[in-house]
A and B are shown apart, each in its own frame.
Chain A
């Protein structure tokens, strides 16, 4: 990070404020949506969609993942793969014998 000029850093700082505004707005949206009491399917999709956007903003800008090194990307991709396995497989082993294909 040492190579960045004062100008660049100042520009980044303004970006942080924008991200903050976006995060706050999205929080308002997701809370607002929850008061509509949508049925559970769409509610989950929408809430997770908004949370994913917010999470990506934090990761990309505050954690500056948007311009990170290859090694870090590799580690994170590996982690995400196993994360998905961990989320999906136990669940599917429970649903398996209920499901038509089982």
Chain B
């Protein structure tokens, strides 16, 4: 994003800033906005990559044993092309980022960057279809396992959380609280520079002998303990990612407590900030046990310990030569101690985005703001004591499972409170149906479906039937895909003007929204049908070999068609995104007539390490839209009362 052009030199000088060298400004930047964009761009790449892994899976599920079309030829192309493309891309990108190119040369450079990127991305995906993974383009069962495990891992840890927290959190949170930057800019940079290598390690693991991790995103031992080398890479990658999250959460919490603008009391905090704050606490306290578990599994794999290895384990007819005495269930406890809070990490910031967009586009205050805040805190707290509802089938006793069923039922209450408050907020509003609002509105029923279908999974009697079926896949994807991902889209459309100073095209936005909404339901709704019929998840052929699956197998082709439609529906978005960066409608600092402080930071994008033309002082709550006794349509948090 060519910041220098749009930022009048006078403003930069006014804040006493000299021009920083290229690498300091874009690569090892300590400015929360640049780091936010770095996170965002990297995570969008991983989102697309995880999406492509899923497309390969969906091909195999719909047409088991048929070669993957189109990509086959690229898989065996000479590496020279790749290196060449990389080199050209690097040169053109640096050239562009320096911001000195103009006119036709610039257009040429943009075209080169676009072509090289697309070429490299497609080649990367095609390379996965090597002879070891997919001879003749036919996906082997072992490769399907890699795809599943890595799709899950990449989507959760490399795409969605970094988008919600690393990108939106980093960029928007300091602005919304009126801070010049994060509390610890160096730590912020370190956080990104742990995340990126973590992601690269995960990517590279596809190309080591035996391929990437293939024991599911949950990595249950003993299977994962004896899995191929890729699992070790997975563990190293996870340790890096966890470190990155920990650094980030320390930074976020400190920033919220220490750097709020004068007058910004906690009950004047925008809901998005509350969501980020609670999320950070979840990351801070739930991730370390998984880090510990990861270290223990690394020890099991590299040092030959038996933390998770039971005695007398027989593999391929032979008793394994390990000390034994370990506990596979211990991993499950430590994993879910993180992974349940993690699902709230995936949803709370999404709710935060939706709340902002809804308040702004209904032009009235959020209904039940305080109830939402308390519900969020309560939800964060409870999320630490529900984890074993993922383990009802592990033979734990009845009193423990009764405990976890109870806590799970309790935790559903605050989610319903938040959802209800958002629904009621729509009541009587003069709603503006722009693209961010459409995505935010769609979030509500989609998250509703995802949440409600979770209840039967939280009760042991029904979970015994549903556990590990496609019902589970349907359930949580409704939460994370048409739920969280839609919220992310809402956020991108909503804050794009702050990131770039330009709006994204509304027409293309709608062309993105409606097909996406239809397609995504075609993908996930039939999963409930299959799951209720008893079709298991993680089957490389979608269940062809099971008698009870035959009745519902025909849905597989339908769902896959939905997935490819979903891919097509993203083309308007991708085009819109890049096109609007340069050609979108230019807008002022507050194009949505919003009240919260990020829109007081001017110009868009705001200046490095400073953000605000004047230090803002907050005088009222976050959502003063259509104030009753005033003749203005909205009252920003920082402007003094107009008498």
The answer to whether A96 touches B400, judged by C-beta atoms less than 8 angstroms apart, is: yes
B330 and A90 contact, CB distance less than 8 A = yes
How far, in whole Å, are A82 and B395 apart by their CA atoms in the complex? 24
Q: Is B333 in the interface zone, CB < 8 Å from A?
A: yes
Q: Name the distance in Å between B111's Cβ and chain A's nearest Cβ.
A: 52
Q: Are A96 and B388 in contact (CB under 8 A)?
A: no
A97 near B397 with CB under 8 A, answer yes
**A9: Cβ under 8 A from any B Cβ:** no
B210 in contact (CB, < 8 A): no
Q: A71-B257, A96-B397 are in contact. Are A78 and B333 (CB under 8 A)?
A: no
Verify if A53 is at the interface (C-beta below 8 Å from B): no
Contacts of B327 in A (CB 8 A): 94
Pair A97/B285 contact, Cβ less than 8 Å: no
A93 partner, pick from B289, B384, B397, beta carbons under 8 A: B397
Q: Which residue of A has the minimal Cβ distance to B253?
A: A75
In this assembly, does A52 line the interface, its C-beta being within 8 Å of a C-beta of chain B?
A: no
Contact B285–A82 (Cβ < 8 Å): yes
Q: Which of B375-431 contact A (CB under 8 A)?
A: 384-385, 388, 391, 395-400
| B contacts with A: majority SS | helix
What's the minimum C-beta distance from B286 to chain A, rounded to whole angstroms? 8
- Shortest distance from the beta carbon of B43 to any chain A beta carbon, whole Å: 28
Known: A79-B285, A85-B384. A101 touches B333 (CB 8 A): no
Least distance between B621 CB and chain A CB atoms (Å):
23
Q: Beta-carbon contacts of A62-102 to B below 8 Å, as 1s and 0s?
A: 00000000010000001100100110011011101101011
In the complex, the answer to whether A78 meets B399 with C-beta atoms within 8 Å is no
Q: Which of B330, B333, B334, B388 has the most CB of A within 10 A?
A: B333
Q: Are A93 and B385 in contact (CB under 8 A)?
A: no
- Inside 8 A of B388's CB, which chain A residues have their CB? 89, 93
Q: How far is the CA of A71 from the CA of B399 in the complex (A)?
A: 36
- In the bound complex, do residue B285 and residue A93 qualify as a contact, i.e. CB atoms below 8 Å apart? no
Point out the residues of chain A lying under 8 angstroms from B337, CB to CB.
86
Question: B329 contacts the other chain (Cβ, under 8 Å)?
Answer: yes
User: Chain B residues near A89 (CB, 8 Å)?
Assistant: 333, 385, 388, 400
Complex-state Cα separation, A32 to B397, whole angstroms: 41
Q: Does B443 contact A (CB under 8 A)?
A: no
Q: What separation, in Å, do the CA atoms of A30 and B210 have in the docked complex?
A: 51
Q: Which residues of A contact B329 (CB under 8 A)?
A: 93-94
Which residues of A are found within 8 Å of B384, using beta-carbon distances? 82, 85
**Most chain A beta-carbon neighbours within 10 Å: one of B337, B385, B395, B400:** B400
Name the B residues within 8 Å of A79 (CB-CB). 285
- Report the minimum CB–CB distance from B310 to chain A (whole Å): 13
Residues of A within 8 A of B257 (CB): 71
CA distance A62 to B384 in the complex (A): 31
Contact of B399 among A86, A90, A94, A101 (CB under 8 A): A101
Q: When the two chains form their complex, are residues B397 and A102 in contact, meaning their CB atoms are under 8 A apart? A: yes
Contact at B289–A86, with CB atoms within 8 Å? Answer: yes
Q: How far is the CB of A27 from chain B (nearest CB, A)?
A: 27
A83-B384 Cα distance, complex, nearest whole Å: 10
- Chain B residues within 8 Å of A86, by CB: 289, 337
Known: A71-B257, A85-B385, A86-B289. Is A93-B333 also a contact (CB below 8 A)?
yes
B281 interfacial contact with A, CB 8 Å:
yes
Cβ A78 vs Cβ B281 within 8 A: yes
C-alpha spacing A85/B388, complex, angstroms = 12
Q: How close is A89's CB to chain B, nearest CB, in angstroms?
A: 7
Q: How far is the CB of B140 from chain A (nearest CB, A)?
A: 37
Measured CA separation A71–B330 after assembly (Å): 33
User: Could you give, for residues 4-42 of chain A, a 1 whenever the CB lies within 8 Å of some chain B CB and a 0 otherwise?
Assistant: 000000000000000000000000000000000000000
Residues in A whose Cβ lies below 8 Å from that of B330: 90
Please determine whether A78 and B396 come into contact, CB atoms closer than 8 angstroms. Answer: no
| Residues B285 and A90 in contact, CB atoms below 8 Å apart | no
Q: Which B residues touch A85, using CB under 8 A?
A: 384-385
**Interface 1/0s, chain B 40-82, versus A by CB < 8 A?**
0000000000000000000000000000000000000000000
- Expressed in whole angstroms, the Cα–Cα distance for A93 and B332 within the complex equals 12
Rounded to whole Å, the gap between the CB of B389 and the closest CB of chain A is 12
14 further interface pairs, Cβ-Cβ under 8 Å (given A82-B384, A90-B334, A93-B397): A86-B289, A89-B385, A93-B333, A93-B400, A94-B329, A96-B396, A96-B397, A96-B398, A96-B399, A97-B395, A97-B398, A102-B398, A102-B399, A102-B400
Which residue numbers of A lie inside 8 Å of B, CB to CB? Answer: 71, 78-79, 82, 85-86, 89-90, 92-94, 96-97, 99, 101-102
**Please, could you name 17 A-B residue pairs with CB atoms under 8 Å apart, sorted by A?**
A82-B285, A82-B384, A85-B384, A86-B337, A89-B333, A89-B385, A90-B330, A90-B333, A93-B333, A93-B397, A94-B329, A96-B397, A96-B398, A96-B399, A97-B395, A102-B398, A102-B399
**Top-6 shortest CB links A-B:** A96-B397, A97-B397, A102-B397, A90-B333, A96-B400, A93-B396
